[in-house]
Structure 1
Amino acid sequence: MPDASRLVILDRDGVINHDSDDYIKSLAEWIPYPSSIEAIARLSRAGWTVAIATNQSGIARGYYDEVTLAAMHTELERQVGEAGGKIAHIAYCPHGPDDGCACRKPLPGLLIQIRDALELNSLEGSWMVGDSLRDLQAGEPMGCRPVLVRTGKGRRTEAKGTGLDGAILFDDLAAFVDRLLSHEL
């Protein structure tokens, strides 16, 4: 069983891959940051567990379907695997903002799914890495340590400055992993 203090939960769009205000609607549009794939692999090789919590309202909006999303996640897992890493679990919310679900971030539903899938008692002390305030807010009630990356929507989130108390800021996922693996966090 994984140890929550050695768990890193990542948002997907804007943290692992380029984001788009028009949504990532196809495998061709899913373009990872090369440094993020290697960063995930480095975490895995160092004994960390990596999971993903991602809102995918484009499904509810009819922009793409769950088969297309699965193809993106299969490719993500393939690339991470080729680099020597592993993703323990991917939780996603297919709902729109007005659907009234319990899983859409900033609610903690996706993190609860991760906790249960990994058979953990809690997520206390794990890391939640995102590029938006709602990513960090989802981790807060679960006891996650917040990290904001400046990729994706991160610079806009940082510029707003609201709600980032306690968050550690990094230029990208690779910079966070560098610090984490050097035991400076």
Structure 2
Amino acid sequence: MPKNLYIIGTMNTADRSIALLDTALRRRFVFIEMLPNSSLLSTDCAGVNLQFLLEAMNARIEFLLDKDHTIGHAYFLGLDSLEGLKECFKDKIIPLLQEYFYDDHAKINAVLNNNDMLKEKTMDSALQKLLGDFIDTDKKIYQITEASGWGVETFIKIYKDASQAQSNETTEQTPNP
């Protein structure tokens, strides 16, 4: 092999189905962990701070699962419009969260900070009467809302409380003159 040939491979540590392959590769190669880097993202994608957005979601995911399941910054690279951000969430982020949480939409809703991308589904009275003896009445069922209804505020709500808490901490740490 030529000395100027480098082989670079990537793998997602969240995928445990390839554990044996992972072990074999780790014995033979050097691994460099690359965690999500929000500083590579825009602070203004159609009014949405992608850095705050990624950090807020990943903080919640890390507590609900672990750091190996955090969302990578690559999902958001190159986004420059609200339509692109909607598409990213509809086609990539929400399906990834559904996979991570095995369709536990309450946890997905928590990661999204109850931002109205998921709505609680209610059972009409006829269906409740028919299924009443067979279902857990405390069970919540969610459905994904239409992406066309997601505005800038929908995305800002994901990080709004978290970014306010960060700015409050900074303010509290800054001495008054």
TM-score range, shorter chain: under 0.3
TM-score where L is the length of structure 1: 0.26
Q: 1 or 2, which has the higher helix percentage?
A: 2
With the length of structure 2 as denominator, give the TM-score of the two structures. 0.27
Higher relative contact order (CA 8 A, sep 6+): 1
Larger Rg: 1 or 2?
Answer: 2
